[in-house]
Homo-oligomer: A and B are copies of this chain.
Amino acid sequence: MAELSATTGLAVATIKYYLREGLLSPGRPIGRNQAEYGPEHVRRLRLVRALIDYGGLGIADIRDLIARLDDPGVGLYGLAGLAQKSVTEREEARPGPHRERARRIVAEVMERKGWQDSAANPAVGTLVGVVAVLEELGLREISAVLGDYADAAEGIARVDLGVVGTAGDRERAVEIVALGTRLGDAIVVSWRRVAQEHLTTRTLNP
């Protein structure tokens, strides 16, 4: 345990807490008060810390995700989907006429794209919320191109799936999705601003 703490840089009390919460499997007992931990424990601890620090997940979400990770009945892409949903927060729209209009706008785009409106995907709820705000602010120019944004975002998702496809194993796939989702958001929105600047400058000085 002292060695595990030294290797991972985590306090013994923290590691004991993760053991109690079921985020880490117990070591192999080798004495009355000693247990042996292997590289799989170091790796799991690293995943747990990364999920907390960069995925923004709570202990209950991580426990749930790790249970699926250790369940051979859940396939690689199924696992990736679960990891993605755990790091996605749902933001609901306030009830009202804007929400109803927003629902229709989002549903129309999804139908055109042939995307299923899975009630389980919190991102659809967030989209309805954002479009409702746009409608409320009278920014219909933006709602009007919602489908164009969907086309562009599909290109991003293709890159994402390509990266998950390179994952050597399940633990790595969860790591890539859980960390890559939020960090990937930051990459995409930052490139968006850099590209905006480039395109704007070119428009000003053709």
Q: Taking beta carbons and an 8 Å cutoff, which residues of A are in contact with B?
A: 50, 54, 75, 77-78, 80-81, 84, 88, 91, 110, 113-116, 118, 121-124, 126-127, 130-131, 133-134, 137, 139, 141-142, 145-146, 148-163, 166-167, 175-176, 179-181, 183-201, 203-204
Complex contact B191–A121 (CB within 8 A): no
| Given A179-B137, A186-B130: A123 touches B194 (CB 8 Å cut-off) | yes
Complex contact A134–B196 (CB within 8 A): no
Docked complex Cα distance between A202 and B127 (Å): 22
Complex contact B203–A77 (CB within 8 A): yes
Complex contact B186–A188 (CB within 8 A): no
Complex contact A121–B156 (CB within 8 A): no
Docked complex Cα distance between A150 and B124 (Å): 24
| Contacting residues, chain B, for A131 (C-beta < 8 A) | 187
| Contacting residues, chain B, for A160 (C-beta < 8 A) | 192, 196
Complex contact A197–B121 (CB within 8 A): yes
| Given A137-B179, A151-B155: A113 touches B145 (CB 8 Å cut-off) | no
Docked complex Cα distance between A188 and B126 (Å): 11
Complex contact B150–A186 (CB within 8 A): no
Complex contact B194–A110 (CB within 8 A): yes
Complex contact B183–A133 (CB within 8 A): yes
Closest to A80 in B: B200
CB distance from A39 to the nearest CB of B (A): 14
Complex contact A158–B201 (CB within 8 A): no
Instruction: Give 16 A-B pairs besides A123-B193, A161-B196, A161-B199 with Cβ atoms closer than 8 angstroms.
Output: A80-B196, A81-B196, A113-B195, A127-B187, A139-B179, A139-B183, A145-B159, A146-B187, A148-B159, A149-B187, A150-B191, A152-B152, A153-B188, A154-B195, A156-B188, A188-B189
